[in-house]
Amino acid sequence: MKKVIIVEDYCIACYNCEVACVASHSRSEDPIKAYKREGLRGRTNAVVEVASPLAFSSMCRHCKHPWCMDACISGAIQRLDNGIVYLDEERCVGCWGCVVGCPYGAAHPNLDGERKHAFKCDLCIKRLDAGLNPACVEACPNKALLYDETIEVREEVRT
């Protein structure tokens, strides 16, 4: 399965990936409207962590054994045929089991709005269906995020 691979050596903490993630999951798919009108500033699945000089964009690994799915009490998290660990926000009851269960901090609580629910990376499933890469990968100016099958790509990039 292809996943987003993080190459922390190349991350410059520009936060482009966070913005691209928010925009691609917004109604307008426009970053300004998403942040200022749709109130989605905190709704990114690609969270940039910085401990200078180290920086990296952290997101869901779509694990072989998804702890989030085990912890989900409503069946909102399922593995799709293409391998994506998908969280159906409509089925989420806001128990935060996935938020606590994910060892990578990749499932987040959405506390805004009337209905509380969790959210996580869906690998930009709509973009994949259209033959595009995940938005964070496309937005990264420095190839710190790659969409590929194997972890060995990291070593190829470094050399």
Residues that bind ligand SF4 (CB under 6 A): 11-17, 48, 55, 57, 60-63, 66-68, 85, 102, 104, 106-107, 120, 139-140, 142, 144-145
Residue closer to ligand SF4, measured from CB, 25 or 120: 120
Of 36 and 143, the one with the shorter C-beta distance to ligand SF4 is 143
The β-bridge partners of 55 are 50
Our CB check for ligand SF4 shows the closer of 40 and 102 to be 102
In the complex, minimum distance from the CB of residue 57 to ligand SF4, in angstroms, rounded to a whole number? 4
| 3-state secondary structure at position 101 | helix
Q: How far is the CB of 159 from ligand SF4 (least distance, A)?
A: 19
Beta strands in 111-152 (DSSP E): 117-120, 145-148
**Which run of H or E residues covers position 85?**
strand 85-87
Q: Residue 142, SS3? A: coil
CB of 128 to ligand SF4, least distance (A): 16
Task: Identify which of residues 14 and 153 has a Cβ nearer to ligand SF4 in the complex.
Answer: 14
Give the separation between CA 56 and CA 62, rounded to whole angstroms: 17
Smallest distance, ligand SF4 to C-beta of residue 27, A: 23
| Rounded least distance, CB 83 to ligand SF4, Å | 10
Q: Give whichever of 40 and 146 is closer to ligand SF4, judged by the CB atom.
A: 146
What is the enclosing helix (H) or strand (E) of 137? Answer: helix 135-139
Which residues lie closer than 8 Å to 119 by C-beta, 6 or more apart? 43, 45, 87, 89, 107, 108, 110
